[in-house]
Amino acid sequence: MNDTDASDRGAVGADRTPDVSNQTVLITGGAGFVGSHLAEALVEDNEVRVLDDLSGGAREHVPEGAQLAEGDICDHETVAEAMDGTDLVFHEAALVSVEESVENPTESNRVNAAATVNLLERAREEDARVVLASSAAVYGHPESVPVSEGDSKDPTSPYGIDKLSLDHYARRYHDLYGLETVALRYFNIYGPRQNPEYSAVVNVFFRQAADGGPLTIEGDGQQTRDFVHVSDVVQANLLAATTDRVGEAFNVGTGRSVTVEELAETVVEVTDSDAEITHVEPRPGDIRHSEADVSKARTELGYEPSVSLEAGLRALAESKQGR
């Protein structure tokens, strides 16, 4: 599952992290991509528990010092046990594949929405703060970019619908029950240890470059995406863990987008590859433009994305080559 090793840990990213210490922290999905980077950032100064069924993550991603409970977030008893005595929860576990959610909307709803409601209920009992992984997928096809938190939401997949439901529940659990929640709407995250089965375009291009090419762009390559390095996503989570702006949702991207063509060219460059770039049929229903307006996170959380795409891709190339 893992195409990198421990040497890739913490390759880039300025240290802008607020102090989160002496807490009992649960990270659902902590053996996965984002969750394991979060675990790493927290393990030194906190008691860190990871709840993960290892369906997409890997045991070796969990840093030393964190306790791994192998289990399903849909199982109420397992969640109650993992949450016992927690101060802070980062909810990252999810059925992450949009395609899979289209094939099996019931399962997406069970894992992404229903399990979240149960987790929020347990958090009420523990009076724990919950930071939840929402997604840019809540916006569907944005009417214009950059997209702000208040813009219209019209998700185009069961995954997006379930993330929107998670996002709404987070806010309403604050309004109705006073629970401290923060929803983070992640844009396109990249970095070491990303689930290789997840068809993220950065992953695909790196694999294609390693295989000697070609890099295949779906469509004309002029579609744009906001690629955010995982260390900046960790920064946003740690800020969310300490903010007084609870009951809110925040975009987590960089506020800059690039075309998929530019991404392909940069991957070729940073991997020193001579792979060609070709175009294949566009993906049906592909979103044309995606870019986060991160001014709310900047102003209210103090979030400042610190890794440029080129630096992040270069570091990723080096970690994959074991340099």
Closest contact distance (angstroms) between CB of 129 and ligand NAD is 17
- The span from the CA of 227 to the CA of 309, in Å, is 7
How many residues sit in the footprint of ligand NAD (CB under 6 A)?
29
> Is position 177 annotated as part of the catalytic site?
no
Q: Which of 139, 186, 206, 250 binds ligand NAD (CB under 6 A)?
A: 186
Can you give the C-alpha Rg of the chain in angstroms? 19
- Residue 252 binds to ligand NAD (criterion: CB under 6 A): no
User: In the window 188-247, what residues touch ligand NAD (CB under 6 A)?
Assistant: 188-189, 195, 198, 200
Which tokens hold the place of 166? 């998670």
Type of residue found at 5:
D
Rounded to the nearest 10 degrees, the angle between the axes of helix 201-210 and helix 260-270 is 40
Stretch that binds ligand NAD, among 46-54, 150-158, 234-242, 281-289 (CB under 6 A): 46-54
- Residue 3 binds to ligand NAD (criterion: CB under 6 A): no
Nearer to ligand NAD, 74 or 287 (CB): 74
Count Cβ atoms below 10 Å from residue 161 Cβ, excluding itself: 22
- The span from the CA of 128 to the CA of 148, in Å, is 28
Stretch that binds ligand NAD, among 52-60, 172-180, 265-273, 312-320 (CB under 6 A): 52-60
List, in sequence order, every beta strand (DSSP E) within the chain.
Answer: 24-28, 47-52, 67-70, 88-91, 129-135, 181-186, 188-190, 215-218, 224-225, 227-229, 248-252, 258-259, 277-280
Closest contact distance (angstroms) between CB of 130 and ligand NAD is 13
Stretch that binds ligand NAD, among 32-40, 121-129, 144-152, 281-289 (CB under 6 A): 32-40
In the complex, which residues of this chain contact ligand NAD (CB under 6 A)? 29, 31-35, 52-57, 72-74, 92-96, 111, 133, 135, 186, 188-189, 195, 198, 200
